[in-house]
């Protein structure tokens, strides 16, 4: 707790807000975010902000949008329990993203006619300029059927389908979600500011984030300890968990694996 005065400001107070999200099966995400509250904060927050897309810092806006999309990809992958990744490719140097989306729409509709198909799909541009698609799904897949459907869309001699589980060890679905999400920020400059960076099936229910604790202290170790304890309270295992800490931003994040 601080009582320092800075100009017209006084009663500076550092706070940590702890929030969590429970996906079931021991999978939780818990975060600690630092806030500095002081007199005059309300006045500053009421200052007019640039409209979306109007700020001069276009590159930063694009990166911020990519980070939001990356979070949504991670959350949706976890919500559907994705544990496999389908990759669809072209033999030709296919550089038209609109055409890629059209082909994927035809592919997913045909697959859905023969099986349930919940998915989170992220396009990636290769070094040669060609697009291909990574699709997160749950459960074993018949790659021969998927390949035949993809060929029926793009041509028998014009593409391939690969199905794999990048993290075969039980409980590491959170790593697959993070793995797919990395493609969002890899080439964030390839997308317009309001352009969709991923495609997903409808009706995916993402668990709501809920408050866990509100700490009035200047001790990040106490906040991080609270995050770990919150994960343990719901029965999660900390073995092979993922974590992220940014001291400058005052942000700590923890993701656990399923039991």
CA torsion sign, 130 to 131 to 137 to 142? negative
CA pair distance 69, 244, nearest whole angstrom: 18
- Rounded to whole angstroms, how far apart are CA atoms 127 and 109? 29
More confident residue, 18 or 64: 18
Instruction: Note the pTM of the prediction, 2 decimals.
Output: 0.80
Residue ranges of domains in the chain, CATH in brackets = 76-200 (3.30.70.1910)
State pLDDT tens for residues 97-132. 999 999 999 999 999 999 999 999 999 988 888 899
Question: What pLDDT, on the 0 to 100 scale, is given for residue 94?
Answer: 92
Neighbours of 226 (CB within 10 A): 18
pLDDT value of position 44: 44
pLDDT in tens, 139-174: 989 989 999 999 999 998 898 999 988 776 666 778
Owner of token pair 């969590």: 20
Mean pLDDT of 232-252: 91
- For 32-73, the pLDDT digits (tens) are 999 987 645 454 444 445 455 444 567 777 777 778 888 999
pLDDT at 46: 45
C-beta separation of 18 from 215 below 8 A: yes
């Amino acid at each position: 707790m601080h009582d320092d005065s800075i100009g017209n400001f006084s009663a500076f107070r550092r706070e940590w807000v702890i929030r969590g999200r429970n996906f079931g099966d021991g999978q939780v995400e818990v975060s600690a975010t630092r806030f500095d509250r002081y007199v005059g904060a309300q006045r500053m927050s009421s200052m007019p902000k640039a409209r979306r897309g109007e700020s001069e810092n276009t590159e930063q806006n694009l990166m911020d949008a990519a980070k939001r999309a990356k979070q949504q990809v991670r959350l949706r992958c976890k919500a559907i329990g994705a544990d496999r990744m389908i990759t669809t490719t072209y033999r030709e140097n296919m550089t038209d993203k609109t055409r890629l989306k059209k082909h994927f729409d035809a592919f997913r509709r045909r697959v859905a006619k023969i099986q349930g198909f919940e998915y989170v799909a992220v396009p990636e541009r290769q070094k040669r300029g060609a697009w291909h698609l990574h699709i997160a799904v749950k459960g074993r897949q018949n790659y021969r059927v998927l390949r035949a459907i993809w060929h029926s869309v793009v041509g028998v001699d014009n593409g391939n389908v690969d199905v794999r589980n990048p993290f075969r060890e039980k409980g590491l679905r959170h790593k697959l979600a993070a793995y797919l999400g990395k493609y969002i920020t890899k080439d964030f400059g390839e997308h317009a500011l309001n352009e969709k960076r991923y495609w997903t099936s409808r009706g995916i229910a993402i668990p709501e984030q809920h408050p866990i604790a509100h700490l009035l202290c200047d001790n990040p170790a106490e906040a991080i300890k609270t995050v770990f304890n919150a994960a343990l309270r719901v029965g999660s295992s900390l073995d092979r968990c993922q974590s992220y800490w940014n001291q400058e931003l005052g942000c700590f994040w923890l993701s656990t694996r399923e039991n």
